[in-house]
Structures are given as structure tokens and as C-alpha cells.
């Protein structure tokens, strides 16, 4: 059965009333889960696997898959409205989504996020249907050296997120990389930098850091504004729908983000965080108005949202074509496959074609369902900003605290989130960007492990990173990216110096002491 015949056959299976009902249940539950920081798709799927006992395997897997991309679909809501990303992938959406909401464009921002997710989801499923096997075969060429080079390249692009000061941005990156070393060393089994706390042996929880840096820091801003009398209720301005000008700016970003997201999803272990980051950086590099990013650029919402949703489709490339999970959520779904006595992989297309093509086709239908579910809620959700600031402050604290505590059921995480809340407040006061710290924390562990694994395999030979054509190319791209960033900063400083010199009269410059 070729891809086109498979899609048609799968649509006939997915369109049965039972399958439609459970697909709808899955995407609805996934959307609800995405609004609660801390649960995430992996935990949500794992919690609901026992509910599927005794169900038809195709029906159960359609529902569990719907939870996965439903979580990715709705993750933008708390990021845009409450400055609280529900998972790592939503961090990039916060950077421009929340500033747009503060400008009264919350409804339009939610709408563009929903449309971006829908388009990227449809593109991703189509790509999954036609290029799954070839792309999976290429991704198998990635070993430790290639992953190390890829992450180096990703971190080299962080300069686009550092704001006006490259030094402050790099400080945040290295703080994140330092936090990534906390915990048990996988090679030696020794606890590192835990300060005697047993809870830190399992590494610093990303959710705790995100909630502290964004949610609790936002609460501190609101308290400060309330005491100073500068905090006011945000009103939704203009139309609930995005304008034609916003759509013209967002449209190319959606397609580029979909492409980047699917490629990152097809490479196992990268996840939606890296795809969102790379798509955001790409848009800022290509934008005619890069100064708007971080202050409310619509492309800064459309691109990462598209990348995150296309990434979920890319993650199924390895699961279905090779039987290798491409993310944490697909690893849980693979467990459900095995529970039903099926082994994902190339033979699954021959032994269970109804299940495979029905599952892929259900993703088309699920994306349409999510668009229908989310767009009518845009106006209702945007009214959250009408809540009095003091009440909204309590809502943010309750959501953040519940998400942090539910992860490990440990009050230590609450105190750690409070600590990072103080860090976030200090970062805001000194204008230090938060995103580079988070990406240092997210990518630091994989960077270290890939580096050590590559050296172990090569018996300590550092040239192993140059002998691989893929790794050497990526490291070269990283070097070019760093050089370009330094050159652009130097040009900005020279231009600023010349502008200041033009504004100061010549006789004043002559009178200044050398």
C-alpha cells in the first residue's frame, strides 16, 4: 500500500463514529492538560493508559495520540495570558506572546497560535505520511559526536535571544549550563553540586525553574506594580481575530517553523524545545524588524507554535518507521503499543496497516477538531486579562504551585521555585534575558553526555568531532554563527559611536581630556 492509498484507507477507518469520539476525547483531554503547568503530555498519557485496558488497540492509540498533540496545541494559552509556559516548548511563545497580550492583543495572539498549530499539524502529518522512512534512515546517522555538534550550533544561535547585551546573555547561558551539571553523574555515579540536598540528585527540575523565572517573577512584578499604583487591568483592544497585516507577517513564519519543527522531531531526542528555539532564532534573523522580537512580534508566536506542533508529527517518524521513540511522549505511547502486543517498526506497516494508517489519518481529523475547539474559546480565554490584578495574582500562584508540587509531591520544589522566582526578579531588574538560561539548562545535560560518549567511543581522540562530515559541518556552522554575531555587534557599536560623535559639536570633543 503506497502512501496516498494508505491515507485514503486510514481516513475510512478514522472516520467511524467510535474512532471519531475517542479522538475527540483525546484532543480535549490534551488541551485541558496543557493548561496545567507540570503535567505535560508524557505524564498525561501515562496517567490515562490504565483507562484504555480492554479497549480496541486502534481506538486506544488514537485517543492517546490525540492527548499528545492536543497538549502541544493548547500549551500557548497560559504562556500568552499568564506568562507561565506549561512545558519547555512553550518558553519561546512567552517571549512575544505575553507582551502582545499586555498590549491588548491577547485574543488575536491566541488565534494566530491556534491557526499556526493547525497548519503546522497538517503539514507535519502529510510529511509523516510520505517521508517517514527516508527521513528516519537519515536520522540514524546521528551519533554522540553529531548530537554534540548540533547542540553547539543551537547554543551558538542563542545570541539572537540575548537582547541588547551579549555579555548578559552569555552569562545566562553559562548559568544554565552550570545548573545542568547538578545531580548524579551518569558515568561515575557521584553526586555533583547537590549541596547536600537529596532532592537535587535527580537534577534540577526544569518545570521548577520555568515556574520560578516566569510565573513567580511575574507575580513579583504585579505586587510591585500594585504597591506603586502602576498596575492596571489589561483590556482586549480591537478585533478578536488577527489583522491582515499580522497574517502577512505570520504566514511565512508558520511554514518555516513547520519545516524546522518536523526535521527536529524526526531526529530522536531533540524534542519541541530545540525546534521552537531554532525556528524563533531563524525568524529573528530573517525579520526586517528584529528589534520587535521580545516586545510583541507576531512572528515570535507563529514560528515556535508551528515548530512545536510539527515536531510532534516528526517524533512519530522514528516510532512508526523504526520502532524507536523520538520523544518522552512517544516513548510512553510505544509502551502502549507493546502493552497491546505490537512492536512498532517497519514491519508494523505490513502486519497492522489498518492501525498505522488509521492512526496517521486520525491526526488529520484531530487537528481539525482542535481548531474547532480552540478558536471559539479565543474570546473567552482572552477575558482572563479582565480579572482584577490582585485576583489574577492569586490564580497564577495557585496554578504555578499546583504544577510544581504535583510533579514530585515534595515541598522542596516549592522552595526551589521561590528561589528561582527571586532570580527571575533580579534578572528583570538588571535586564538579563531568561531564555538563554533555560536553554543552557535544557541542552546542557545532552551536550555533556554526548561529548563524553563521543570521546569514550574514540578512546579520547578529540578529532572524532571533525572526522564526521555531519558533525564537522555543524561545528563549522556554529563557528560562523558566533563570528557573525560578534561582527554584527561590532557594527552596531561602531554605528552607535558614529551617531554619538555626529551629535556632539567638534569644539566639545576638542575640549575633552584625552
Q: Please write the tens of the pLDDT for every residue from 378-429.
A: 667 666 666 676 777 777 777 777 767 876 778 888 898 889 888 888 888 8
Q: Is the dihedral of CA 466, 469, 471, 473 positive or negative?
A: positive
Residue 163: which pLDDT band, with cuts at 50, 70 and 90? low
- For helices 57-74 and 17-34, the axis angle rounded to 10 degrees is 30
Structure-model confidence comparison of residues 461 and 137, the more confident one = 461
Q: How confident is the model at residue 514 (pLDDT cuts 50, 70, 90)?
A: very low
What is the C-alpha to C-alpha distance for residues 36 and 292, in angstroms, rounded to an integer?
29
Please, are residues 353 and 9 in contact by the beta-carbon 8 Å criterion? yes
Question: Shortest CA distance to 309 belongs to which of 349, 351, 241, 260?
Answer: 260
Q: DSSP character for 212?
A: I
Count the residues in the chain: 514
pLDDT of res. 434: 78
More confident residue, 161 or 501: 501
CA angle, residues 399, 26, 18, in degrees to nearest 5: 155
pLDDT in tens, 67-79: 888 887 767 777 7
What is the torsion angle, in degrees rounded to the nearest 10, for the CA atoms of residue 417, residue 419, residue 421 and residue 425? Answer: -170
C-alpha cell at 329: 511522549
pLDDT of residue 410: 82
Residue identified by cell 525556528 is 279
Cα separation, 257 vs 185, in Å, equals: 35
pLDDT of 58 > 60? The answer is: yes
- Residue 267 is predicted with a pLDDT of 65
pLDDT for the residue numbered 231: 58
Residue (of 49, 38, 43, 117) closest to 78 by Cα position: 38
CA distance 6 to 9: 5
Q: Using alpha carbons only, give the angle 158, 161, 164 rounded to the nearest 5 degrees.
A: 120
What mean pLDDT do residues 16-21 have?
A: 90
- Predicted model pTM: 0.68
d(CA 476, CA 69): 34
Say what the pLDDT of residue 506 is. Answer: 53
More confident residue, 475 or 34: 475
Judged against a pLDDT cut of 50, whether residue 509 lies above it is answered with no
CA dist., res. 6 & res. 325, Å (int): 22
* Phi, then psi, of 184 in degrees rounded to 5: -75, 125
Residues 6+ apart with CB under 8 A from 134: none
> How many beta carbons lie within 10 A of that of residue 266, not counting itself?
28
Average pLDDT, the chain: 78
Q: Which of 61, 54, 102 is nearest to 82 (CA)?
A: 102
Least confident range of 94-108, 417-431, 458-472, 492-506: 492-506
37 compared with 365, residue with greater pLDDT = 365
Residue 457 CB coordination number (10 Å): 13
Q: Residues 302, 296: contact at Cβ < 8 Å?
A: no
Rounded percentage of the chain residues whose pLDDT exceeds 70? 78
pLDDT tens digit string along 322-341? 666 666 677 778 778 877 87
Say how far apart CA 251 and CA 260 lie, in whole Å: 15
pLDDT of residue 21: 92
Biggest distance spanned by C-alpha atoms of the chain: 88
Q: What does 151-174 look like in DSSP terms, one character per residue?
A: HHHHHHGGGGGSTT-HHHHHHHHH
11 confidence band (pLDDT: 50, 70, 90) = confident
Helices (H), 75-165: 76-82, 91-102, 106-139, 144-156
Q: Which of 105-109, 303-307, 416-420 has the lowest mean pLDDT?
A: 105-109
Q: Which residues share a beta bridge with 184?
A: 191
Range name among 253-257, 261-265, 348-352 with the lowest pLDDT average: 348-352
Considering 209-223, 282-296, 458-472, the range whose residues carry the highest mean pLDDT is: 458-472
The DSSP symbol for 39 reads T
Answer with the residue of higher pLDDT: 510 or 146. 146
Is residue 117 pLDDT above 80, yes or no? yes
Q: Which residues pair with 183 in a beta bridge?
A: 192
Question: In a 10 Å sphere around its CB, with 0-12 CB exposed, 13-18 middle and 19+ buried, how is residue 347 labelled?
Answer: exposed
Which candidate, 341, 342, 348, 340, places its Cα nearest to that of 322? 348
Reported as a pLDDT band with limits 50, 70 and 90, residue 493 is: low
pLDDT at site 272: 67
Q: Do residues 336 and 61 lie in contact, with contact meaning Cβ atoms separated by under 8 Å?
A: yes
CA end-to-end distance (rounded Å), the chain:
80
| Nearest partner of 109 among 212, 246, 245, 232, judged by Cα | 246
Amino acid at each position: 500500500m503506497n502512501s496516498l492509498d494508505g491515507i485514503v484507507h486510514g481516513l475510512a477507518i478514522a472516520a467511524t463514529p467510535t474512532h471519531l469520539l475517542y479522538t475527540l476525547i483525546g484532543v480535549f483531554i490534551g488541551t485541558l492538560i496543557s493548561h496545567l503547568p507540570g503535567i505535560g503530555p508524557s505524564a498525561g498519557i501515562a496517567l490515562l493508559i490504565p483507562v484504555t485496558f480492554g479497549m480496541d488497540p486502534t481506538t486506544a492509540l488514537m485517543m492517546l495520540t490525540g492527548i499528545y498533540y492536543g497538549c502541544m496545541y493548547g500549551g500557548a494559552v497560559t504562556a500568552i495570558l499568564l506568562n507561565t509556559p506549561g512545558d519547555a516548548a512553550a518558553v519561546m511563545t512567552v517571549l512575544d506572546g505575553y507582551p502582545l497580550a499586555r498590549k491588548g492583543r491577547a485574543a488575536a495572539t491566541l488565534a494566530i497560535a491556534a491557526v499556526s498549530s493547525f497548519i503546522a499539524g497538517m503539514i507535519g502529518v502529510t510529511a509523516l505520511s510520505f517521508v517517514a522512512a527516508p527521513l528516519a534512515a537519515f536520522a540514524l546517522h546521528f551519533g554522540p559526536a553529531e548530537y554534540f555538534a548540533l547542540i553547539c550550533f543551537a547554543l551558538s544561535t542563542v545570541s539572537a535571544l540575548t537582547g541588547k547585551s551579549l555579555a548578559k546573555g552569555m552569562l545566562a547561558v553559562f548559568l544554565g549550563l552550570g545548573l545542568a551539571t547538578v545531580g548524579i553523574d551518569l558515568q561515575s555515579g557521584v553526586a555533583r553540586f547537590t549541596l547536600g540536598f537529596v532532592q537535587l540528585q535527580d537534577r534540577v527540575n526544569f518545570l521548577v525553574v520555568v515556574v520560578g523565572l516566569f510565573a513567580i517573577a511575574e507575580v513579583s512584578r504585579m505586587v510591585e506594580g500594585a504597591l506603586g499604583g502602576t498596575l492596571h487591568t489589561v483590556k482586549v483592544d480591537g478585533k478578536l481575530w488577527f489583522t491582515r497585516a499580522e497574517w502577512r507577517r505570520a504566514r511565512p513564519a508558520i511554514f518555516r517553523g513547520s519545516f524546522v519543527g518536523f526535521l527536529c522531531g524526526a531526529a530522536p531526542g531533540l524534542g519541541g524545545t530545540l525546534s521552537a528555539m531554532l525556528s524563533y532564532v531563524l525568524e529573528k534573523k530573517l525579520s526586517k524588524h528584529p528589534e520587535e522580537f521580545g516586545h510583541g512580534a507576531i512572528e515570535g508566536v507563529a514560528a515556535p507554535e508551528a515548530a512545536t506542533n510539527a515536531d510532534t508529527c516528526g517524533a512519530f517518524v522514528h516510532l512508526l518507521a523504526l520502532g524507536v521513540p523520538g520523544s518522552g511522549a512517544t516513548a510512553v505511547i510505544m509502551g502502549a503499543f507493546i502493552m497491546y502486543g505490537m512492536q512498532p517498526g517497519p514491519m508494523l506497516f505490513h502486519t497492522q496497516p489498518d492501525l498505522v494508517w488509521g492512526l496517521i489519518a486520525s491526526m488529520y481529523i484531530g487537528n481539525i477538531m482542535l481548531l474547532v475547539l480552540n478558536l471559539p474559546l479565543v474570546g473567552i480565554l482572552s477575558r482572563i486579562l479582565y480579572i482584577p490584578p490582585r485576583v489574577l495574582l492569586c490564580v497564577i500562584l495557585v496554578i504555578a504551585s499546583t504544577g510544581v508540587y504535583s510533579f514530585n509531591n515534595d515541598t522542596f520544589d516549592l522552595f526551589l521555585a521561590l528561589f528561582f522566582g527571586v532570580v527571575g526578579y533580579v534578572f528583570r531588574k538588571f535586564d538579563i534575558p531568561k531564555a538563554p538560561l533555560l536553554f543552557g539548562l535544557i541542552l546542557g545535560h545532552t551536550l555533556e553526555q554526548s561529548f563524553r560518549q563521543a570521546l569514550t567511543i574514540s578512546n579520547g581522540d578529540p578529532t572524532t568531532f571533525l572526522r564526521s562530515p555531519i558533525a564537522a559541518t555543524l561545528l563549522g556552522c556554529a563557528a560562523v554563527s558566533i563570528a557573525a554575531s560578534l561582527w554584527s555587534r561590532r557594527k552596531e557599536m561602531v554605528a552607535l559611536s558614529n551617531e554619538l560623535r555626529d551629535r556632539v559639536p567638534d569644539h566639545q570633543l576638542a575640549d575633552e581630556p584625552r
